Amino acid sequence: MNLYFSRLRLFEASFYIAEDEPRTADTKEKAGSDETRLVREIYRVTTTVRKHSIFPEITTIEYFDHTNPISDKLKEDGPGKVVAVISWNWPSQDSSIINIGGKVMKLNEFLKRGKGITNTNTHLKIGDSEYIWKSAVFRPAQLYDPASRSVARYIPNSGSFQLSTFVKGSFFAKVPEEKDNAKKVSRSFGASRLELEKDIFESAEERDYAVSSFFVYKACRDLSILLTPWWRKDAGEVIGIKV
């Protein structure tokens, strides 16, 4: 399973799957390109910000089951299934708490750092099995199973999202607004990918743990994310992806 998301908005990210086939002639007009594939939101990350701060306060990770016809209605009228809630006491992982699958634990218990100053391996327990997130310079994060097989991989550059938005104002000061006198335009921005091996993450619980642990792993290691305006409202609707 390939999940596409924006790494610059990790704290306010949606994880999408892309349809196998490009858009048809019937749907091409909306996307504006034959190469653009339809996307479906599977996971959604939302985060509140501490008052007078850029640091996160509460992060909620939701799952939308597209095999369930009620799911799209839930997305419009209310939240999906909450799979994890993180209460941050940034930057301490020892005093930040995660509630996942009904289990409440500290972040440094959910993801345990390996022993040693130079050891960057991070251990994750799913059921009775222990997995390890590993990364290094020029080697993006990968999740390894007990048999040392790579079962999840982070690919930083994996195509571009196509965005439908409304803009109003001068060339130097365009403000997204959905108004009658605003112009509808198409934009694009970079997409990243999280690859999950289907035969490993067949159950919803295992998949939830993999996605949630990836979010925590990246959020706690890539501090540059905090320097991006992730807390601002998204500038439009994702209508597809070019991969």
* Residue 63: C-alpha distances to residues 135, 140, 142, 176, 238 (Å): 26, 25, 22, 28, 17
Query: What percentage of the chain exceeds 90 in pLDDT?
Result: 42
The residue segments making up the domain with residue 75 are 2-158+194-236
pLDDT (tens digit per residue) in 21-36:
665 555 555 545 557 8
3-state SS, residue 165: strand
pLDDT in the model for residue 84: 97
Confidence class of residue 173 from pLDDT cuts 50, 70 and 90?
A: very low
pLDDT in the model for residue 235: 60
Residue 152 counted as domain residue: yes
pTM: 0.82
Residue 87 counted as domain residue: yes
pLDDT (tens digit per residue) in 122-141:
999 998 999 999 988 788 99
How do beta strands 81-89 and 92-100 pair? antiparallel
What is the domain count for the chain?
1
Residues 6+ apart with CB under 8 A from 99: 84, 85, 86, 87
Residue 59 counted as domain residue: yes
Residue 182 counted as domain residue: no
Asked if residue 38 has pLDDT above 80, the reply is yes
Tell me which of 192 and 162 has the higher pLDDT.
192
Mean pLDDT of 59-73: 76
